[in-house]
Amino acid sequence: MSMTTASAAVGSVCFPRSRIRGSSFHPRMSIRSSGSSTDTLSSVTQILTKLHKDCATPVPVLRHVADSMANDMRAGLAVDGSSDLKMILSYVDALPTGNEKGLFYALDLGGTNFRVLRVQLGGTDQRVIATEAEQVSIPQELMFGTSEELFDFIASGLAKFAEKENGEFQLSQGRNRELGFTFSFPVKQTSIDSGVLIKWTKGFAVSGTAGRDVVACLNEAMKRQGLEMQVSALVNDTVGTLAGAKYWDNDVMIAVILGTGTNACYVERTDAIPKLPGQISKSGTTIINTEWGAFSTGLPLTEFDRGMDAASINPGEQIFEKTISGMYLGEIVRRVVLEMAETGSLFGSSIPEKLQTPFSLRTPHICAMQQDTTTNLDAVGSILFNEAGIESNMGARKMVLEVCDTIAKRGGRLAGAGIVGILQKMEDDMEGLIFGKRTVVAMDGGLYENYPQYRTYLQDAVTDLLGPALSENIVIEHSKDGSGIGAALLAAANSKYKP
- Name the residues annotated as catalytic: 202, 237
Measured N-to-C along each axis, helices 363-370 and 452-471 cross at an angle, to the nearest 10 degrees, of: 80
Residues 6+ apart with CB under 8 A from 320: 262, 292, 293, 294, 295, 296, 299, 414, 418
Roughly how many angstroms between the first and final C-alpha of the chain, as a whole number? 50
Q: Counting every residue, how long is the chain?
A: 499
Residue 62, Cβ neighbours under 10 Å: how many? 23
7, containing H or E segment: helix 3-10
Contact (CB, 8 A) for 108 and 483:
yes
Which ranges of 360-472 does DSSP label H, i.e. alpha helix? 363-370, 378-388, 394-429, 446-450, 452-471
CA-closest candidate to residue 142, choices 215, 227, 200: 200
Residue at 484: amino acid letter = G
Contact (CB, 8 A) for 418 and 320:
yes
CA-closest candidate to residue 152, choices 70, 59, 221: 221
The DSSP string of 202-217 is TT---BT-TTSBHHHH
